[in-house]
Structure 1
Amino acid sequence: MTSTVLRPHAEQDHADELAALAAVDDRPRPPSWRLSPWAVVQYLLGGTLPDGTEITPKYVGQRRLIEVAVATLATDRALLLLGVPGTAKTWVSEHLAAAISGDSTLLVQGTAGTAEEAIRYGWNYARLIAEGPSEKALVESPVLRAMRDGRIARLEELTRIPADVQDSLITLLSEKTLPVPELNTEVQARPGFNLIATANNRDKGVNELSSALRRRFNTVVLPLPDTAEAEVEIVSRRVAQLGASLELPADVADLAEIRRVVTVFRELRAGRTEDGRTAVKSPSGTLSTAEAISVLTGGLALAAHFGDGVLRAHDVAAGILGAVVKDPVADRAIWVEYLETVVREREGWDDFYRAGQEIAG
């Protein structure tokens, strides 16, 4: 049956897997957790349960990183997921919250305009003027609701939030209490409450965390995939999922184009070809795994609606150009040089070279 929403929340999309894990999970669970820490890690990394149920991997990477993240959330320290753009920080935080609390929606999106009310609470000003301060006039933030219900709250792009707003987290995380002086009361966190924040380490210097706030977090750095094989697995899995959810009638069974896009991204990121023989210049963009997924999903749409349904070089060339060329002068020169010195000489890449030349103009 076609989903009624474009992108279900993790706890909805993987409800069967979460239920299957809960049914076989006989290990100790921290207070208010839906699953034990072991089962949460199984949900993230995937595997086969004793009853034969297949748990699909949500994260492909080092098991120890996920174990540290889950163990952190079972303590009184909050979790900070740090990494370059496209390293699945948001994805991991969503699935952690879904597995632990059964609710990944208690989310604050950090921006330069995020106000303290988004983290603490606000007011319904019509009721506030008519009735004065009252519980009915109070507008709860996702963090306050998580504290009250003993669940996981999520805070995206922590370093994008102004420093004075960041500091409103200090008492909340250390005392597990949110004072509401207008009502002469406070909200005390119930067992199961914790916070997962994400931050882009390329934003260093934007709004750096104070030492007092950083001490409230345990930091886990999510790296880019170590190997081409791991990155191809991640990309192909997500492209297949997205293609199915978008009902794109295109063939993604052949991994040739996926492997080629991943190769281009990895070589331009690393500044050298896979065999290490040729140095190449790196463009200004990050060329993350998430961008590779976006390029290939766009290519699927082109193949489905304007091609023969088979993903080919000319379907992904424009997307790659858009990902690589952020600076229209310097990055375009880097891309043209890569085409001429690497792609042109590579056996079996003639179609990609022609497509790249055509798009680059």
Structure 2
Amino acid sequence: MAKPAKKSEETAAPPVSEILKEPAEIKYAHELEALRQNEKDEVPAAWKLSPRSVLAYIVGTKKPLTATINGAQVEVPITRKFFGDDTIVERSIVTLASERALLLVGDPGTGKSWLSEHLAAAISGCSTLTIQGTAGTTEEQIKYSWNIARIIAEGPKPENMIASPCMISMRKGAIFRFEEITRCVGDVQDALVSICSDKAIAVPELPGDAMVFAKPGFNIIATANARDQGVNELSAALKRRFNYVHIPVVADQKTEVEIVRTRSKELLERYKIAARVEEPVLKLLATVFREMRNGVTAEGVNVQKPSTTLSTAEAIGVALDAAIHSRYFGSGVVGADSIGRNLVGSIVKEDLDDVKVLKEYLSLVAKKRGEGDAQWKAFYEAAISAIK
């Protein structure tokens, strides 16, 4: 009897340690397991955790949970994943517990995809059943396609069908994620109307007009940038089938500093960069972003707003770039000068007039503060030098 062929190294799944970005259900597996073991509430059909435990997973708990992990009893801290208003998470969970789909709307970088991923991980145990909406997204990518070679040889059969992530979600009773839905044309978006209403996909190519029905637990989380709402706005029929949850830009500086600190630390650990952004530097970065975003400084001075969305995600990017630059091309210490040197690329993008906006802020605000503060002076000099 012939021995089965060994799986080649090219097709074998890589070990977790070799994955650049682990899905939430893998990275936070211990937290999800601890919540499951400590579950005390009723769990909806096909959900992995109760709504209360899903909320605890996303917003964190004050005390660690005791759980048995790998045969040993340990204390597992449940960290905070989403730093916005907790009621936003609650409304999202309530929506997903019903038959209505969820649409997360907000400016770029407000954490829509981040929240979507963690909701799917906690509810379904799988956050990877997703498609990225683009101008080239087709209806087949939402529903299903066919293996053309096998269709020609054998005709349409269920085994010759290539199921989309949406169809797989329906069969498994899991959450399907649709990123940037407004980037897709209207005809493609409307492919979701029947899926949201009937919870089924018709396959007319198969004998008897076969249908694929969704199992309990299936639902849809879509995201849309507020600045893209006019690109391909959802039809009235599709809007009725979604519950809108708007995610605002972070309201206070303390929370924004905490987000930048947490996410930049995670990213530096992922890239194995031995650098850290200290608290005073984080506060300076958050102050610059907040004042330029709002168009007014703490002293009440009005400044121009750049055309770029100065989101918290952009601030995280600046902190990360500054840390990497300091590690490889500097002293290894992330100072205000590192922030100033790496800030320009986040503010000046498509519109070159934003150079004038940044220069105005540096001249009116940063330079003046630098007269009595060494950090602001270092920031001002590095940022001005980078512009020139």
- The TM-score bracket by the shorter chain reads over 0.9
The reply to whether residue 247 of structure 1 matches residue 247 of structure 2 is no
Give the TM-score taking structure 1 as reference length: 0.97
Task: Answer yes or no: is 1:40 the counterpart of 2:54.
Answer: yes
Equivalent positions of 1:179-190 (< 5 A) are: 179-183=202-206, 184-190=209-215
Q: Which residue of 1 aligns with 2:6?
A: none
2:216 equivalent among 171, 191, 203: 191
2:378 maps to 1:351:
yes
Distance 1:335 1:123, change over 3 A: same
Q: C-alpha separation between the residues in 1 aligned to 2:164 and 2:324? A: 38
The answer to whether structure 1 residue 118 and structure 2 residue 141 are counterparts is yes
Shift of the 251–329 alpha-carbon distance from structure 1 to 2, 3 Å rule, reads: closer
Which of the numbers 243, 247, 264 marks the counterpart of 2:288? 264
Q: Give CA-to-partner distance per residue, 1:181-201, whole Å, 9 cap, x none.
A: 111201000000000000001
Higher-Rg structure is 2
Q: What's 1:161 paired with? A: 184
Q: Report the 3-state secondary structure (helix = DSSP H, G, I; strand = E; otherwise coil) of the residue aligned with 1:273.
A: coil
Shift of 1:328: 5.1
- TM-superposed CA distance for 1:259, in Å, is 1.4
Counterparts of 1:213-224 in structure 2 under 5 Å?
Answer: 213-224=238-249
The superposition leaves residues 337-356 of structure 1 with CA deviations (integer Å, 9 ceiling, x where unpaired) of: 11100000113211111111
Q: Matched residue pairs, number? A: 359
Gaps of 5+ in 2: 1-14, 67-74
Name the aligned partner's letter for residue 354 of structure 1. Answer: E
One-letter amino acid matched to 1:204: Q
2:23 maps to 1:9: yes
C-alpha contact 2:46 2:217 (8 A) present in aligned 1: yes
Give, in whole Å, the separation in 1 of the partners of 2:290 and 2:263: 18
Distance 1:328 1:165, change over 3 A: closer
More displaced stretch, 49-58 vs 127-136: 49-58
Secondary structure, counterpart of 2:158 in structure 1? coil
With the length of structure 2 as denominator, give the TM-score of the two structures. 0.90
1-structure distance, mates of 2:211, 2:341: 54
Tell me the distance in 2 between the aligned counterparts of 1:116 and 1:232. 41
Q: Secondary structure at the match of 1:113?
A: coil
Which position in structure 1 is the counterpart of 2:332? 309
Give identity over the alignment, percent.
46
Alignment equivalent of 2:237, drawn from 212, 218, 223: 212
SS at match of 2:360: helix
- Is the Cα contact below 8 Å between 2:338 and 2:379 reproduced in 1? no
Deviation at 1:2, TM superposition (A): 8.6
Q: Which residue of 2 aligns with 1:320?
A: 343
For the residue of structure 2 that corresponds to 1:298, the secondary structure is: helix
Q: Which of 244, 250, 255 is the equivalent residue of 1:230?
A: 255
Give the AA of the match of 1:25. E
